[in-house]
Structure 1
Amino acid sequence: MAQSPTKRGKNEPEPRPIIIKKIIEEGHGGHHGGAWKVAYADFVTAMMAFFLLMWILGATTEKQRKGIADYFTPTMVQMREKSAGSNGLFGGESIVDKDNYPHRAAQTGSKSITIPKDASGGEKEGGSAIRNKDRVAFQKLKMMLQAKMAANPKLAQMMKNVRMVETREGLRIDLVDQADFAMFRSGTDQLSPEALSLMKQVAEVSNFTDNSVIVRGHTDAMPYSKGRTVNNWTLSAARAEATRRALADNGVANSRFARIEGVADREPYLPDDPYDPRNRRMSITLAWSGDNPGFAGAAPRGPVDLMAGSGANDPTAMPAEAMAQMAAAKKH
């Protein structure tokens, strides 16, 4: 039987309540905790990596550093030695130094030459001899252009913007934009004074042969704002025509021009970065002797080094004349 609470007297004060205070001591997790050790360990690791990098830069040669860089770019390793062009006549080399390429080691590929064949399927008689003759002439043109540019201090600074490479269509001379240099005024087909001087040298060198000439304009992938009638197709075609006029004004006969094309951004120099300014360029190709470059099916479209493994194997080039006809048809 439960005991009833003790009764207190009438004047007896009320008993004090019993208060139990429980204190839980915390560990040293506050500012005395171990979180700072993690941050300090990260800092020490970063400093170790930094000093290791400094040591490598000071203890290795340029060739060894390039090898280390290749190790960390495995997607480029397999064909790095043949990068930035084909392994043909010039192997993708700049007229000065391959380290000065505007698109350094961006393109890969191997050259494939289509040998003329007769009806029996054999090699066409004299075909190889003609090609070899062209190759000798192209090599001389390369040396001449190099000498002309080196003799002019202003043009010598633009040597890194010029690239010569053998393709399935012939000898292609690429005049490439960079962040600090543009062949044309932005959004127009007006050649800059420096570009006009460069075109003059290219025209003078080209006049030492009678090979047909193909001019192809390229742009980057930067789109125009909506509502404008111009686009990268019309701009690339207009710039190709402006290049043709510049070459013609400097002595290249009109009868030598086989095709004037604008391909917009369909054949980029840097497929991984279509907005890079180096994708803006003019390609001037001296066609192989004996070919019919005026017929679109006479030779595979585009250079070898841009086709291999870049996804640009089917460029939809549009000649300038065809684009003009389409524009006229839309107006009517």
Structure 2
Amino acid sequence: MATGKSEGVTIVIKKEEGGAGGHHGGAWKVAYADFVTAMMAFFLLMWLLNATTEEQRRGLADHFNPTNVMGQRPSGSGQPFGGRTPNEAGQMASNASSVRAETGPRPVVFDLEEDDSNTPASAVERREGPRGDDETATPARLRAERATGGTDGAGAEGTGGPEVARASAEALREELEKREREVLDRLAEQVRAAVRDDPALADLARQLQVEQVPEGLRIQILDAERQPMFALGGSAPAERGRALLTKVAAVINRVPNAVAISGHTDATPFRPGARSNWDLSAERANATRRLLVEGGVAEARVRSVAGLAEREPLLADDPGSPANRRVSILLLRENTRNAAP
């Protein structure tokens, strides 16, 4: 402040003590607090990852990523909860923690019985064809489409027609028949070995005939000169015949095939007024059935028991041969076109 009495100018400097002037220079504290919070969250995440199992982490991911079966794809991204990182190729989505419903081709079903002649009218369907025209969908056509996976009978390409379905069914049938032949071949060898390896029955191996026929595996037990399997003129099995049938029963128990039993005699007739070869052959077949059941073969597996007398001789040129006196055990095939009706 200047005075009027002096020639010079007097300069007075006044300093004022300032109070709280606001938050000048404190912004770094906010940034530091954010950093500390982020580090605490990071270390907490690391601890959780180390303290939980993979199954628990998957459960947490599923909890925060609910399944939507109607959606195109599940949501969620980023590790470790099943998502993908930005460094990976592909979309930022994952299917590791949720279920995705997708459509696919119908399963292949082969129906080996294709009989259209007896198809009732109610089994015929009408539907719109691929070009908008109506076509009749018979059961055979539907089976062909199921077998090939398309409406035109040729899978995804839709070409080929019912011929492809029939060819596929035929190939499947042939494969099943091939496998069954192999099983029956092994079974035949097991029957021969069971008799051959038994010292008490080894000499009866020549009276055992095992072969595959169109109907299945046929096991025949033959009489021989001075070695009958049954008492002469009777239906009671001899001791060695009983032992042989017991061995056969033990082997055929290894497969589930149905069994047909038939008895046969030679051409020697009975005296007039006595019983006939029909009676004798039927009685021996039934005695064989009883022995097989006693050996463990289920009664339900027996398809038929028949006596054929001398009508089907094994040696047609020698109708009186002992070999014509025999019992036949037939294991029927399960998959074949050639089986007897």
TM-score, normalising length: structure 1: 0.51
State the shift of 1:287 in Å.
0.4
Aligned to 2:271: 225
State the shift of 1:265 in Å.
0.4
What is the alpha-carbon distance in structure 1 between the residues aligned to residue 298 and residue 340 of structure 2? 25
User: Retained in 2: the 8 A contact 1:130–1:289?
Assistant: no
Paired amino acid for 1:276: S
Aligned to 1:272: 317
Residue pairs, 1:258-297, within 5 angstroms: 258-290=303-335
What is the alpha-carbon distance in structure 2 between the residues aligned to residue 291 and residue 185 of structure 1? 37
Paired amino acid for 1:128: E
SS class of match (2:280): helix
What is the alpha-carbon distance in structure 1 between the residues aligned to residue 317 and residue 340 of structure 2? 23
The structure with the largest alpha-carbon Rg is 2
What is the alpha-carbon distance in structure 1 between the residues aligned to residue 228 and residue 114 of structure 2? 45
Aligned to 2:189: 143
The answer to whether structure 1 residue 154 and structure 2 residue 200 are counterparts is yes
SS class of match (1:153): coil
Match of 1:209 among 247, 252, 255: 255
Match of 1:194 among 240, 245, 248: 240
Aligned residue-pair number: 180
What is the alpha-carbon distance in structure 2 between the residues aligned to residue 300 and residue 159 of structure 1? 28
SS class of match (1:245): helix
Deviations 1:84-112 (A, max 9, x none): xxxxxxxxxxxxxxxxxxxxxxxxxxxxx
User: Retained in 2: the 8 A contact 1:211–1:256?
Assistant: yes
User: Retained in 1: the 8 A contact 2:333–2:339?
Assistant: no
What is the alpha-carbon distance in structure 2 between the residues aligned to residue 155 and residue 233 of structure 1? 29
Where in structure 1 are there 5+ consecutive unaligned residues?
Answer: 1-115, 293-297, 302-332
The answer to whether structure 1 residue 249 and structure 2 residue 294 are counterparts is yes
What is the alpha-carbon distance in structure 2 between the residues aligned to residue 117 and residue 151 of structure 1? 43
SS class of match (1:137): helix
User: Retained in 2: the 8 A contact 1:176–1:278?
Assistant: yes
Identity level (%) = 35
Match of 1:119 among 94, 108, 115: 115
User: Retained in 2: the 8 A contact 1:218–1:264?
Assistant: yes
State the shift of 1:290 in Å.
4.1
What is the alpha-carbon distance in structure 2 between the residues aligned to residue 146 and residue 232 of structure 1? 29
What is the alpha-carbon distance in structure 1 between the residues aligned to residue 173 and residue 240 of structure 2? 39
What is the alpha-carbon distance in structure 2 between the residues aligned to residue 132 and residue 196 of structure 1? 33
What is the alpha-carbon distance in structure 2 between the residues aligned to residue 204 and residue 276 of structure 1? 29
Deviations 1:104-131 (A, max 9, x none): xxxxxxxxxxxx8743795755322222
What is the alpha-carbon distance in structure 2 between the residues aligned to residue 224 and residue 288 of structure 1? 36
User: Retained in 1: the 8 A contact 2:267–2:319?
Assistant: yes
Paired amino acid for 2:256: D
TM-score, normalising length: structure 2: 0.50
Aligned to 1:174: 220
Aligned to 1:57: none
